[in-house]
Amino acid sequence: MNRTQAKRRWLLAAALSTLAACRPAAEVPAEPETETPVPAPPVVEVIAYDFGFESPDAIAGGWVTLRMVNAGAQEHFLSVYRLPDGVSWGRFMDEAIGVFGAVWNAYAAGEASRAETWEALFTELPEWWFSELDFAGGPALTEPGETAETTVYLPPGTYNLECYVKTPEGTWHTELGMMRELTVTGPTAGAQPPAADVTLTLSNYAIGVAGELRAGTHTIAVHSAETPEGFARHDLNLFRLGEGETVEAIVAWMDWMDFAQFRAPAPAYSLGGMEQQSAGRTGYLTVTLEPGHYAWVSEEYGARGMVHEFTIE
């Protein structure tokens, strides 16, 4: 290398270093993140099968994502509710489920009319059934082979996991084993629910929709604003309607007091939703929507107008 070449090299290096010094600030590597990330809720997997739940005996509470895998051949859901303090799962089975069974069996045997049976449920079930059960939500009706999840808040306590769809022959899934005790221990530190892009508000008796449902994945907040006058609390089931399938047929099928109804299979494809929540609760569900025709349908209050049909282009 002669002196001229060396000088050119030096000039080039100097020019490059000047350019580097003039880089816009945006290209300077950012400072490392110092904020503590908010922990996502832990995922609790529950396998629903024909007929039972495979789930942990005990979990930590707080915000929890309940993921239900339907490994069965019939639709299942995962209703999750906390028993009153001092009521053990065994006592719950005797005093609530036992009473429900006796009232239902009298109805099935033709010893009581539908109206009398309805009345008997309100008079014979323990008062705490109506006032103290804390319905926390959970994945609603889900087609065999599908997985559905909800993120809900679980305070410590004793819970019941339940699915009461009927078999094609008319037997409650609960009678066949779809009831399971779950113990929830002290809250998980700091877990927060996901951010929602759509909110569905359930009141007496309407579904309020805030936000827009488009093709893709959504996190939907479902807020139960009021306690309905009926047997069940507010819930929402999501269905995809095929050719010729109607919301009217789903609403008729949801009538669990009709012996011929609420038997698997459902009259449309079920994609989860939010099981019953006590008033004041908000739960979150994540769903991926492809183009098609859909409906949100309340189990007990669909006949009172709690349905919402929508189309994804």
163 sits near Cu ion (criterion: CB under 5 A): yes
Residue 166 contacts Cu ion per CB under 5 A: no
Minimum CB distance to Cu ion, residue 81 (Å)? 16
Which is closer to Cu ion, CB of 219 or CB of 261? 261
Q: Is residue 161 a contact residue for Cu ion (CB under 5 A)?
A: no
Residue with structure tokens 């819970």? 159
Among 41, 63, 76, 179, binds Cu ion (CB under 5 A): 76
Nearest to 285 by CA among 124, 146, 92: 146
Contact flag: residue 264 with Cu ion (CB under 5 A): no
- Tell me how far, at minimum, the Cβ of 270 lies from Cu ion, in Å: 11
Is the distance from CB of 313 to CB of 293 less than 8 angstroms?
no
Is 59 a binding residue for Cu ion by CB under 5 A? The answer is no
Q: Any contact of residue 173 with Cu ion (CB under 5 A)? A: yes
Cα separation of the two ends of the chain: 69
Q: Shortest Cβ contact with Cu ion: which residue?
A: 163
- Tell me how far, at minimum, the Cβ of 173 lies from Cu ion, in Å: 3
Complex with Cu ion: residue 222 or 266, whichever CB lies closer: 266
Listed residue (127, 132, 135) closest to 84, CA to CA: 132
The residue among 67 and 173 lying less far from Cu ion, judged by its C-beta, is 173
Q: How far is the CB of 178 from Cu ion (least distance, A)?
A: 5
By CB under 5 A, how many residues form the interface with Cu ion? 5
| From candidates 69, 120, 165, 213, binder to Cu ion by CB under 5 A | 165
| Helical ranges in the chain per DSSP H | 3-21, 89-92, 98-108, 114-124, 127-131, 247-253
Question: Which string of DSSP letters, residue by residue, matches 55-76?
Answer: --SEEEEEEEEEEEEE-SSS-B
Q: What angle do CA 307, 217, 210 make, to 5 degrees?
A: 45
Structural contact between residues 283 and 216, judged by C-beta atoms closer than 8 angstroms: no
**R_g (Cα) of the chain, nearest Å:** 26
**Closer by beta carbon to Cu ion, 172 or else 205:** 172
User: Rule CB under 5 A: which of 203-262 touch Cu ion?
Assistant: none
**Segment interacting with Cu ion (CB under 5 A) among 74-82, 124-132, 189-197, 273-281:** 74-82
**Phi, psi dihedral angles at 162 (to 5 degrees):** -150, 140
Binding residues for Cu ion (CB under 5 A): 76, 163, 165, 173, 178
